[in-house]
Structure 1
Amino acid sequence: MFPVYEEKKENLHFRSKTSRHASPHLHNSIEFIYITEGTLELGMGQELYHMDKGDFAVIFPDVIHHYQVFSPGINRAWYLWAGMTLTGQFADTIQKSCPDNPVITSKNLHPDIRNAVKCLYDNKKRKDKNPVVEQAYVQILLARSIPCYRLAEKSSVESSDIIYQTVSYIAKHFKEPVSLESMAKDLGISKFTLSRVFSGTFHRNFNQYLNEQRLNYVCVHLECTDKSITDICLDAGFDSQRTFNRVFRERYRMTPREYRSLYKEKYILQTQEMEEL
């Protein structure tokens, strides 16, 4: 039985909820957990990490994890999922690696992390939510948490598991020419087995999953750099500008140039609105 793959549609999703058991799953967003009451056991790989009130954890995209709750009484946490386009300069690190221990205890937690989580929670309740503010606070969370971790390649979390092998292989090789056949050969499994992994877990075929990882890379660089669109698409692993434009338009219903222009217009407008407050 494959773990559940959860595709987060929103770029930022925030929930304050009672902590419950959750079976193994993975998703396409980075997840932050802040314990507000009670405890939580966070499972990742072969380990179970205990979390108390005030503890904080980061789970990188495409890493299988689960929750367990053993403490009686009230157990609650803030759960925040952020899309890759919000991660900015941290995107490459997040795609390729993950913390060997995702938990930062309350006594070691930088106050900027608590403040950023609280501000994101407050911003969530506003009718006029500002995406620029959201992106800024997400990057504060990453800037203050990532230096606390010892990072490893995703494949090292549980290298015997075919799901981990799949996501870590794509994370490491998506910029290169790669096919279902070559990937299956490198992993030592049949291409039919690998194809079932993509359809059974990710509910998409190999090419769709590969292109999504490449597009995540592209969007971050369209938003955060002035590199040419041609250089970005080639750096991301697309074999031609024509293929890239087709795949990009299918997903975003606009051209890469229109996407970049739209983002910059929104950024300027929202920055002006912030300055007027």
Structure 2
Amino acid sequence: MEKRKAYAYYEERSGRELQVEMGKRLNFPSHLHGELELFLVQSGCVCVGIDGEFRELKAGELAVVFPNTVHSYQCREADSRYMMAVCGTSLLGDYFPSLTQCRPRRPYLCGKALDPDVLYALHSLYRCRCT
């Protein structure tokens, strides 16, 4: 894994406390915001940078971005598709202080590290937001 210095801007998010979206070919520069973000690669390959550490994620791999953490996305393949869930602070409850004071050692979940229930939950949240 490669470490690079990260320059970023603060993204002011407003609206719903939970935003779940699907898309393709995401390219987004280094930024941070106060919400928790889950980023799942559904197909193709996306280079995800978190706190200056960059990793190429493939289909079925997930990145967990804690609040106020610099992160970015760079599509590597034209057919890359993703699902993203952004959770507002009110949904984090008692975990909010820990999520803002700590950082995961491994913000990338791949293979057996990603429980199938996570995929099920993300797809369920997406279906609920569409109804």
TM range (shorter): 0.7 to 0.9
Question: 2:9: which partner in 1?
Answer: 4
Distance across 2 between alignment mates of 1:125 and 1:29: 21
1:31-110 alignment, distance < 5 Å: 31-71=37-77, 73-110=78-115
Q: Which structure is larger by alpha-carbon Rg, 1 or 2?
A: 1
What is the CA deviation profile of residues 212-259 of structure 1, one whole-angstrom value per residue up to 9, with x for unaligned ones? xxxxxxxxxxxxxxxxxxxxxxxxxxxxxxxxxxxxxxxxxxxxxxxx
Unaligned runs of 5+ in 1: 127-277
Give the strand-richer structure, 1 or 2.
2
Structure 1 contact 53–106 (Cα < 8 Å) conserved: no
**CA offset digits 1:123-146 (Å, max 9, x no partner):** 1111xxxxxxxxxxxxxxxxxxxx
Aligned residue pairs total 124
TM-score calculated relative to the size of structure 1: 0.43
Instruction: Tell me if 1:19 matches 2:34.
Output: no
Aligned 8 A contact 1:54 1:105 in 2:
yes
Query: 1:29 deviation in Å?
Result: 0.7
Q: Residues of 1 paired with 2:82 and 2:121: CA distance?
A: 15
Shift of 1:46: 2.8
TM-score, normalised on structure 2? 0.86
Do the aligned residues in 1 keep the contact of 2:44 with 2:76 (CA within 8 Å)? no
Counterpart Cα distance in 2 of 1:35 and 1:8: 22
The residue type equivalent to 1:78 in the other structure is M
- Is the helix fraction higher in 1 or 2? 1
Deviations 1:52-88 (A, max 9, x none): 10111110111111112223x3001001101011012
Aligned CA-pair RMSD:
1.5
Name the % identity: 26
Q: Which runs of 4+ in 1 moved over 6 A?
A: none
Higher RCO (CA 8 Å, separation ≥ 6 residues): 2
